[in-house]
Amino acid sequence: MDTIALHEAFRADRLARDEVRSLPTERLLARNAAGNTLVHLAAKYGRLADLPPAVLAPEFLLVKNDAGYTPLHHAAQAGHLDTVPPALLTRAHLLVRSHSGYTVLHLAAAGGALGQLPAGLLDEELLLTRTDLGNNLLHEAAENGTLDRVPPAFLTARLLALANLSGETVVHVAALNGNLGQIPPAFLTATTLLVTTNAGETALTGGALAFRQHKGGHSDIPNWPAFLDLAARYFHSPVAKAK
């Protein structure tokens, strides 16, 4: 069975634990076209326990694929950090970056897995770790609809107002992705909703009010891109009937 077939059999759950554990290490570390090993797949599908215990070590769980992602990244994004031996969830391992600057923690935030970290490990310093685009963990959670899985102690007005390199606060990112409902209502004020990004837009640009700052001069033609973006949200909504 070649590497492609082996990985497909594993994804399709056609390999029993005993079969996986009987594979030699070189087969477990054989790479597919994207540079993923069977350890990457096991982490992604929450099946690290199917691997030989000797493989559950940093030298295997920190192997990077072609994009720089490790098995720990895969486990974090899929919400399976609870399958990783706790001793491996250290600050140093969680701060390993992909080639695009994403740490394991950023993917844990995106995958709603921050609550799976060892108690007391997550602090403000880690929370404010930035990607190459300037996103911290709250930005990633806001984009992926997982703010409701962030420990409430970190959902403060000060942290939600922090901006990335585009000037987007956590509130902006939540609004643009339809996730404002995950932000405590007390923080949805005129102050937070009307802050402008570097492009001159507010958090309400992504909402039903579609408030928009001017970017440039006036024109006598409609701003069709902005209008169609707003209207598309209602294409499949029930049409109200006139009374």
- pTM to 2 decimal places: 0.81
Q: Which whole number is the average pLDDT over 126-130?
A: 97
pLDDT in tens, 205-240: 655 444 444 444 455 555 666 667 656 665 665 544
Q: Would you tell me which CATH number, out of the four given (1.10.10.10, 3.40.50.720, 1.25.40.20, 2.40.128.640), belongs to the domain 1-122?
A: 1.25.40.20
**What is the average pLDDT value for the chain, to the nearest integer?**
88
Q: Which whole number is the average pLDDT over 166-176?
A: 93
The set of residues, in sequence order, having a beta carbon less than 8 Å from that of 98 and lying 6+ positions away, is 64, 67, 68, 69, 73
The reported pLDDT for the residue numbered 236 is 62
The reported pLDDT for the residue numbered 135 is 96
The reported pLDDT for the residue numbered 238 is 54
Does residue 93 contact residue 104 with C-beta atoms inside 8 Å?
A: yes
Segments making up each domain of the chain, as ranges: 1-122, 156-243
The reported pLDDT for the residue numbered 208 is 45
Of 44, 8, 6, 49, nearest to 28 (Cα)?
Answer: 6
